[in-house]
Structures are given as C-alpha cells and as structure tokens.
C-alpha cells in the first residue's frame, strides 16, 4: 500500500472523530451539532514542450462544524484536530451560534430522514493511489509528444497534465448518524496550440482533449488522448464567421453537459425559495422536448459523482428531474425543502466551511437511439457547437446568450470551422426545441449528455 493510500481504517478513524466532536458541542451547550471531516491528498504533474513544469503533491485534513442552539446556528472549520484544540473549538463555535439570528428552520434533519444504511458503491481504486510523480510525468510526455507528432500544424503547447485525487469523507451528527466513505479520481488533459497558416491572421488556436475516471484502468491511453487533442485543435484553423440568422444547432457532448448544469441551476430548492428561477410553478408541466430525460443518480457504482449519503446525512437516491420533457423533481437539501414545505430529495452537498445546499451527483441526460453521424446527416444544414464562452443566462427570465465556436454543417457533414459568433434563445425554448438526441453518452465527469440538436436558434455572426 502506498503512502498516499486511503484505508478503510482511516475512514473509521475520521468517523469516530466526527462523532466525538458532536459530543463535545453538546457538552458545551449546543442543542445539536454535526461534523464533517475530510482527509485527502492530490498529485498533479504537468509537462510543457517536453519539460516538466509542475510536480505538486499535497495532503490536507480539516473538520467543518455546524451547531444549533435556540434556533440559531454557526458554521466553523479547523485544520487543528488535536484533542485540546477541538474542545476549545467546540466551545467557541457554540458561543458564536449564540450571536447569530434565530431561524426556526435551523435544526437537524428529522430522525426518520437520516440514512440507515450506506451502500458500497466501489468508488476507490488502489491503483490510482499507487501512481507516483515519475509515472505521471511519463504519461504527460507521451501524450504531448503524440499530439505534436500527429499533426505538423501543432506548433506549441499549453502542456499535458495528469492529476489524481484521493479522499475520505466522514460525517456525524448528535442525532446518532455516523457515516464515511473513500474515493479516488484521476484525469489527464492535453492542450495543443496551432498557429493560423495565414500570415494576415496571426491568431493561435487552443484546443484540448481529456480522459478521467475513478479507476486507473479505465483511463484512455495517453497517446490516444494527445492525438485526439491535436485533431480537435487543428480542426479549428481557418475559423470564420457565418451570417446572422436562425439555424439548427447541434451541441457536442462537451457543451451539452454544461447546458444540463444550467438547467439544474434553476431546478433546485434554493433557487425556488429565493424566487430566482423561471421554472417556479412549472412542476408537472413540459419544460423540455418529449425526447429529454434527465436524472440525478448518486447510486451508480464507480461513477464520478456517486455517494452513499448526502451532506445532511440523508440516504441518497435516484431523482428523475425531467421525464419525457416534464419537470418532475426539484432537487432539495433539508433547509431548502423546509423553506418550500417539502421533504429533502437527499441532494445536499457541502464544503468544510459552509452550510449544506442542493447539489447534483451524477447529472445525466439520457442517450437517444441514433448515432451522432445519423443525427448530423439528418440535420443537413446548421451549426455544430463545440464550445461556449462567457456567461449569459438570466435564471429569472430564462434568457440565454453565449459566445460559441464550432463547425458549419452542410450536406449533413461538418465542413469548415466557425468562430466569433453568439448563439441565443430563451432557455425554455431551447429545451423544448430539442428534436434529436444521439446515443454517444459517456460518463467521464459528474454531469453528462449525448449529442443533441435544437431545431432552431438565433446565431449572431457577420452582418453580410
């Protein structure tokens, strides 16, 4: 076992520590308390132009505490986990709670809401822990070199980066909940640079490709990642504007996953009780095309966003957010659910130093039945979007406008690259106009979508 390994014994140690700190808070006068402990280490290795540019390995351990007293609460955190220090930390946190504003909703989850069982989801790979800096640098060199050798138009590089994260999470509260789990995640990026061949256009084009998984054996080959990164970067050379007008728009999976993240930003309890969502009052009604199904599923074995319990100590569960275009569920943590007169969906997330809030786990738009090539052929003419820039989304009105780049579709095929354009629509219309979904879903990160087509959007390019 490597020095970086996260053992089950460590998870148990952290769980006991979390439970002990809750007892300290009760002894200091708190009505209730909950503690979150995280222990982790990360390794990052980066190569640029064949030379090591960064090797960084770091570990950290911290405890976040939330206490309740007389309807008041305080949230604190510390990295000093010595016993005497924790005793004083508990006393100070309880005193801090006494100074806060009261809120009748400031209390632990009800006992019947707390998780009773913690499913084993296979989230940790010892092989990831065994990776050392020397091996990671070799992967970076191989990936960057493959990108440079595969296409002569690759003239520079932002580098290749291999990274891994290992961690243990433990959570406890004074109502008797105690739980913990460990996880691993590794990723590899290659970012080539190409120069525009036209001397009158001295721009440089950046591109990238990547692979990621909780399990080392599931990562794509480093050279294959580099070759794909070079192909994607070189394909953007000679990008041009297109005339302004309404056209069919096809979104690449890299972009599609960010769009379903945008939907979550307005389909959660916090946005609802703050009245910052255009979806308020829309549950049970169509908010997207009948082709759209979106779930949040934290119970997928080995998946990037899986977890056995949430940030409130509740059992996690699969939530259907959109079913055949109809909004079925708004993700809530305990507090936002109480604000709305509901029950939590087991969707709380939290950092060491913050309150819980609604979040996603594995947010997935379901795949369709046709291939990407079939979808493009059926499109005939339109825009294929590979990246979006800037942030232009109004959660209250749904107005959506983002800078974009991609490729023009003509005759059902990707022809020339397109840049310096803007795509816009009301987000409600964007989702309802989805008229084709491909089968190329891949879960490399905690949100994923297949290629899909929007029947028409306004594209602002040149005025010619």
pLDDT tens, position by position, 275-325: 999 999 999 999 999 999 999 999 999 999 999 999 999 999 999 999 999
The C-alpha atoms of residue 58 and residue 46 are separated, in whole angstroms, by 15
Residue 127, Cβ neighbours under 10 Å: how many?
12
Tens digits of residue pLDDT in 164-211: 999 999 999 999 999 999 999 999 999 999 988 877 767 888 999 999
pLDDT band at 464 (very low <50, low <70, confident <90, very high): very low
The token pair that represents 353 in the structure block? 């130093």
Half-sphere exposure for 372 (CA within 13 Å, toward CB): 14
At residue 390, the pLDDT reads 85
Which pLDDT value is given to residue 249? 98
Q: What is the pLDDT of residue 217?
A: 97
Query: 31-46: per-residue pLDDT in tens?
Result: 999 999 999 999 999 9
Q: pTM for the complete prediction? A: 0.95
Q: Give the pLDDT confidence score for residue 197 in this predicted structure.
A: 80
Residue 109 has pLDDT above 60, yes or no: yes
pLDDT at 202: 74
What's the rounded mean pLDDT across residues 131-142?
97
Report the CATH superfamily, name and number, of domain 8-232: PmbA/TldD superfamily (3.30.2290.10)
Q: Where does the chain hold its CATH 3.30.2290.10 domain(s)?
A: 8-232
To the nearest whole percent, how much of the chain has pLDDT over 90? 94
For 63-67, 226-230, 239-243, which range has the lowest pLDDT when averaged over its residues?
239-243
Tell me the average pLDDT across 110-130.
95
Alpha carbon 461 to chain centroid, angstroms: 31
- Sign of the C-alpha dihedral, residues 460, 462, 463, 464? negative
Has residue 92 got a pLDDT over 90?
yes
pLDDT at 1 (0 to 100): 57
List residues bridging with 78 in a β-sheet: 63
Distance CA 136, CA 159 (A): 13
The rounded mean pLDDT for the chain is: 95
**Residue 2 reports pLDDT greater than 70:** no
Q: How many CB atoms are closer than 10 A to CB 13? A: 16
Counting Cα atoms < 13 Å in the Cβ hemisphere of 182 gives 20
CA–CA distance, 188 with 163 (Å, rounded to integer) = 6
3-state secondary structure of 403: strand
Burial label, 340 (beta-carbon count in 10 A; 0-12, 13-18, 19+): middle
Determine the average pLDDT of the residues in 122-137. 97
Q: Which long-range contacts (CB under 8 A, 24 or more apart) does 429-432 make?
A: 430/259, 430/400, 430/454, 430/457, 431/263, 431/287, 431/288, 431/289, 431/292, 431/325, 432/286, 432/287, 432/288, 432/289, 432/325
Collect all residues with Cβ–Cβ distance below 8 Å to 66 and sequence separation of at least 6: 33, 34, 35, 73, 74, 75, 355
Backbone angles phi, psi at 295, to 5 degrees: -125, 160
Angle between helix 133-150 and helix 222-234 axes, rounded to 10 deg = 40
- The whole-number pLDDT of residue 191 equals 98
Q: What is the mean pLDDT of residues 359-372?
A: 98
Pairing between β-strand 32-48 and β-strand 51-69 as defined by DSSP bridges:
antiparallel
Q: Please report the pLDDT score of residue 198 as a whole number.
A: 74
């Amino acid at each position: 076992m490597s020095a970086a390994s996260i053992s089950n014994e460590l998870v148990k140690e952290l769980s006991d520590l979390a439970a002990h700190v809750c007892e300290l808070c009760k002894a200091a006068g708190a009505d209730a308390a909950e503690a979150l402990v995280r222990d982790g280490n990360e390794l990052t290795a980066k190569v640029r132009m064949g030379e090591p540019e960064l090797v960084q390995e770091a570990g950290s351990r911290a405890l976040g505490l939330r206490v309740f007293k007389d309807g008041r609460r305080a949230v604190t955190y510390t990295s000093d986990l010595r016993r005497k220090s924790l005793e004083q930390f508990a006393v100070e946190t309880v005193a801090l709670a006494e100074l806060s504003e009261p809120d009748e909703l400031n209390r632990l989850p009800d006992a019947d809401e707390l998780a009773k069982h913690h499913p084993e989801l296979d989230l940790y790979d010892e092989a990831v822990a065994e990776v050392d800096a020397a091996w990671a640098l070799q992967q970076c060199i191989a990936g960057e070199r493959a990108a440079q050798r595969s296409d002569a138009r690759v003239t520079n590089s932002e580098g290749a980066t291999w990274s891994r994260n290992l961690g243990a999470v433990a959570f406890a509260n004074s109502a008797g909940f105690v739980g913990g789990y460990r996880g691993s995640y590794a990723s590899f990026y290659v970012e080539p640079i190409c120069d525009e061949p036209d001397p009158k256009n001295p721009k440089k084009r950046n591109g990238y490709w990547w692979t990621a998984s909780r399990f080392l054996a599931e990562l794509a080959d480093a050279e294959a990642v580099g070759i794909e990164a070079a192909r994607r970067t070189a394909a953007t050379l000679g990008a041009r504007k297109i005339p302004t007008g309404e056209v069919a728009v096809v979104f690449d999976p890299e972009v599609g996953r960010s769009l379903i993240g945008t939907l979550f930003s307005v389909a959660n309890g916090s946005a609802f009780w703050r009245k910052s969502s255009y979806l308020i009052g829309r549950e049970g009604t169509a908010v997207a095309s009948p082709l759209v199904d979106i779930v949040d599923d934290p119970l997928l074995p080995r998946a990037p966003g899986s977890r056995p319990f949430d940030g409130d100590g509740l059992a996690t569960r699969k939530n259907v957010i959109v079913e055949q275009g109809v909004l079925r569920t708004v993700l809530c943590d305990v507090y936002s659910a109480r604000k709305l007169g509901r029950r939590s969906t087991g969707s709380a997330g939290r950092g060491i130093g913050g309150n819980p809030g609604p979040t996603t786990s594995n947010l997935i738009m379901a795949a369709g039945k046709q291939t990407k090539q079939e979808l493009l052929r059926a499109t005939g003419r339109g825009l294929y979007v590979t990246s979006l820039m800037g942030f232009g989304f109004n959660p209250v009105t749904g107005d959506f406008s983002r800078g974009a780049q991609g490729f023009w579709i003509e005759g059902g095929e990707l022809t020339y690259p397109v840049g310096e354009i803007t795509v816009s629509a009301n987000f409600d219309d964007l989702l309802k106009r989805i008229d084709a979904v491909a089968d190329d879903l891949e879960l490399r990160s905690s949100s994923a979508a297949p290629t899909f087509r929007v029947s028409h959007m306004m594209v602002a390019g040149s005025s010619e």
